[in-house]
Amino acid sequence: MSAGQPPALVIDEAQSAALGAANLGALETALASYEGCALKRTAMSLVFADGPPKAWLMVIGDAPGAEDDRSGIPFSGPGGQLLDQMLAAIGLSRQTDVHLAMLVPWRPPGNRAPNEKEIAHCLPFLWRHIALVEPQIVLCLGGVVASALSHNHRTITKLRGRWQKLSHALFSPENGPDNSPENSQKDLAMLTSWPPDMLLKQPRLKADAWADLLSLRLHLEKNHAPLNGPDE
């Protein structure tokens, strides 16, 4: 075990709490009660989720920013407004189509990236969150969450724009405190792109983000219902 990793017993506690949640309300309560992650003591809010409880598409960021921390809503502020515009450009809305969440639901001080220990505490809850939302596609807006979910430790410049397959036992929404997840794995597609706050700081990256959105739209149209939105 590396110096940055919490003891296995603590991670078992996180996984047990996550698996015990039968719905999103229970999962939010479990996170609010969880004391393992030190970020909880410095953040203003638990930034849990936004959007419909079931969605084809789940968008996940690395960690809340300052605006998210104040509002308790993921992807708030200018970055969130940009994300809403991007989703609208391919016919999607956070109100009706997209479920939003964070890898780490508490803001790290100074908007730094979450560290290995903090990720290890929060990852079981995110796996369960994905299981309960039951998306077909996960869009990771950040290299940290993409690496955590895929166990691919390349930088975001290497991961961005690439489709990957995710498979994890905790995807099964039937798995709870009395069910074994061992034989209940489910697969789904994952795409990685730039965080919206980074697009605001580096507008040259918007071309990459648009290409990723078009790839996402094509995947959704091929595998699910057609979307409303502008032509390529």
CATH number at residue 87: 3.40.470.10
Q: For residue 98, tell me if it sits in a domain.
A: yes
The pLDDT assigned to 6 comes to 58
Q: 13-51: buried (b, 16+ CB within 10 Å) or exposed (e) per residue?
A: bbbebbbebeebebbbebbeebebbebbeebeebbbbbb
- For residues 136 and 188, is the Cβ–Cβ distance under 8 A? yes
The pLDDT assigned to 4 comes to 52
The pLDDT assigned to 70 comes to 97
Q: For residue 180, tell me if it sits in a domain.
A: yes
The backbone torsions φ and ψ at residue 83, rounded to the nearest 5 degrees and listed phi first, read -60, -45
Which residue range forms the structural domain that includes residue 173? Answer: 8-223
Q: For residue 166, tell me if it sits in a domain.
A: yes
Q: For residue 146, tell me if it sits in a domain.
A: yes
The pLDDT assigned to 230 comes to 42
- What the block records as the tokens of 128 is 């369960």
Taking the chain (232 residues) in consecutive chunks of 10 residues, what is each chunk's mean pLDDT? 53 89 97 96 98 97 97 96 97 96 98 95 96 95 95 89 82 47 64 97 97 95 60 40
Total tally of structural domains belonging to the chain: 1
Q: For residue 193, tell me if it sits in a domain.
A: yes
| CA 7 remoteness from chain centre | 24
Q: For residue 142, tell me if it sits in a domain.
A: yes
Q: For residue 3, tell me if it sits in a domain.
A: no
Q: For residue 210, tell me if it sits in a domain.
A: yes
The mean predicted confidence, pLDDT, of the chain is 88
- DSSP label at residue 114: P
